[in-house]
Amino acid sequence: MSQESWVEKYRPTVWSDIQGNNSDIDDLKDWCRNFTPGDKPQLLVGTQGTGKTSTANVIANKMGWPMNQTNASDKRSSEDIARLAASIYTTPPDAEFQLVLIDEIDSQSSRTNKRPLYDALDSPNNPVIITANDEYDIPQGIKSRCKIREFKLSKASKAAKLKDIAEAEGIRDEMSDADLEDLSQRADLRSAIQDMQTWAKQDIPPGQDERDVEIGEFEVMDNIMRGVKESGQVSPPDLVMWLDENLRKEFRGVEALTAYDSLSRADKWLSRAQQEDYRFWKYAGELAEQTATQRVTEPYDGWMDKDFPEWFRHKQPNAHGEKPEARLYRKLKDWEGGSFQFAGDYTHFLNVVLPILEDRPLDERRQMVLELSLDDGEMEALGVSPQRYKKWAQSDVPEDRQQNSAELQTTDVLDY
């Protein structure tokens, strides 16, 4: 078995290797293919291991651009900033553009004079991608000059990649579905891949490594309404909205009064974060989480009713648009007599139904692709790789038809 790091070995090199964030990836494809000097830089925000830097690598690879990569935390002097700004203006000889990648902008010293960088980002001669882990630590001067894209990975996206790696390494038969389920709950894909490699080498079952796993909004509401301070990876703005919507279902009297007092204070810190300094987000998160300690009555031990925040319903995404998720939603709604039907609006579909579908076994999702005649974008919304689907579908095609199918598949890959 190879001793090479599996994280590096299976780092994405083409678009189809990238897991999740389908809508943003589609937009980034258009951005790089149609780039002209002056186009806005792209700011990718998300926790480690969600594919931000890998996406930049794929863009450079597919476009044939040399990449100038810099870690912002290393640029502490005025001379460093001036050189970084110059790289945004300068294109190497014999290249149409260079891709300027600025990693971890949220870790740069706040005392550094960023004016030369701001001026360069106002009208860059080259495509620029900036990454950050925490939005509230990004200088406002950077955010206002960029198109912000939030990167995150669903459990289904992580599970699909892990399964592919397990099959490639010849260990899939040794891993149960429960093992893959445990690994896919890691906070990021990178640590999940590292843990799987450790499991393969040392035979440490994934469920016995005492790692924390990410929990979603519904689990967070259960925790806080039962008096447990645990907000998982939910951001402070989302936490405030979810609590505002759901606290009244369980909190009564004095406990409701003090809980909503904490929540109102959290909302004030959010306002200060947006207007003054995003580092204040952490105070908002602490105050919102503090509502759990206001519980004085005995919580109900059974199932608790939880709702999506009303704001989400008012800001409902466009179900009639042309994004892959919207097209998939409409096809499922119109699928009369199909084996899968559901009730609910588009927001419910995006937040509840689609993650359930992404967690279904791959064979079930492939069958859905077949029955609904999904296009490549709609397949990816389900976590199904179009290229792998074509290979799977071709396996049942008679030999005299496989040549034509292979030719079509080659054309698709080249166009992709």
Report if residue 13 sits inside a domain. no
Q: What is the structure's pLDDT at 316?
A: 53
- Indicate if 298 and 351 belong to the same structural domain: no
142 and 181 belong to one structural domain: no
List pLDDT tens digits, range 91-112: 888 889 999 999 888 776 556 6
Please give, one letter per residue, the 3-state secondary structure of 160-183: HHHHHHHHHCCCHHHCCHHHHHHH
Round to whole Å and give the CA distance between 171 and 217.
34
In a domain, 363, yes or no: yes
For residues 311-334, average pLDDT: 73
Name the domain boundary from 311, 335, 366: 311
CATH number of the CATH domain containing 65: 3.40.50.300
- pLDDT, position 286: 84
**pLDDT value, residue 339:** 55
166, 285: one domain: no
Residue 226: is its pLDDT beyond 60? Answer: yes
Q: What is the pLDDT of residue 404?
A: 47
Answering whether pTM is above 0.75, one says no
Query: Does 347 fall in a domain?
Result: yes
What's the pLDDT at 60? Answer: 92
Is it the case that residue 312 has pLDDT exceeding 60?
A: no
- Domain range enclosing 176: 155-208
Going across the sheet that includes 42-45, the strands are 67-71, 99-103, 128-132, 42-45, 147-150
Establish if 5 belongs to a structural domain. no
In a domain, 67, yes or no: yes
Does the pLDDT at position 18 exceed 80? yes
Q: Are residues 164 and 137 in the same domain?
A: no
The pLDDT score that the predictor gives to residue 405 is 43
Spatial separation of the C-alpha atoms in residues 145 and 333, rounded to whole Å:
39
Provide the domain count of the chain.
4
Tell me what pLDDT residue 170 has: 87
Of 102, 123, 150, at which residue does a domain stop? 150
Same domain, 28 and 141: yes
Residue 212 has pLDDT above 60, yes or no: no
Residue 277 has pLDDT above 70, yes or no: no
Same domain, 395 and 294: no
Distances (CA, A) of 293 to 177, 244, 304: 37, 16, 18
Whether 185 and 245 map to the same domain: the answer is no
**198 shares a domain with 121:** no
Average pLDDT over residues 221-241: 80
What pLDDT score was predicted for residue 149?
92
Higher pLDDT, residue 85 or 78: 85
Scanning the structure block, which residue is given the tokens 């609910």?
344
Q: Does one domain contain both 222 and 160?
A: no
- Same domain, yes or no, for 306 and 331? no
Average pLDDT over residues 238-248: 86
**pLDDT confidence bin for 393, thresholds 50/70/90:** confident
**pLDDT value at 275 more than 80:** no
Same domain, 100 and 144: yes
Distances (CA, A) of 266 to 59, 229, 244, 273, 284: 39, 15, 11, 10, 4
Q: What is the mean pLDDT of residues 393-397?
A: 65
- Report the percentage of the chain scoring pLDDT > 90: 14
pLDDT of residue 40: 94
Q: Is the pLDDT of residue 206 over 90?
A: no
> Could you tell me if residue 51 is inside a domain?
yes
| 83 and 203 co-located in one domain | no
Residue 113 belongs to some domain of the structure: yes
Which of 14-23, 136-145, 160-169, 354-363 shows the lowest mean pLDDT across its residues? 354-363
| Any domain includes 318 | no
Segment 351-381, tens digit of pLDDT: 778 877 877 788 888 888 888 888 988 888 8
Last residue of one domain, picked from the residues 173, 208, 243: 208
What is the pLDDT at residue 215? 64
How far is Cα 200 from Cα 42, in angstroms, rounded to an integer? 37
pLDDT above 60 (res 408): no
Average pLDDT, the chain: 79
State the DSSP code for 95: -
pLDDT at 284: 82
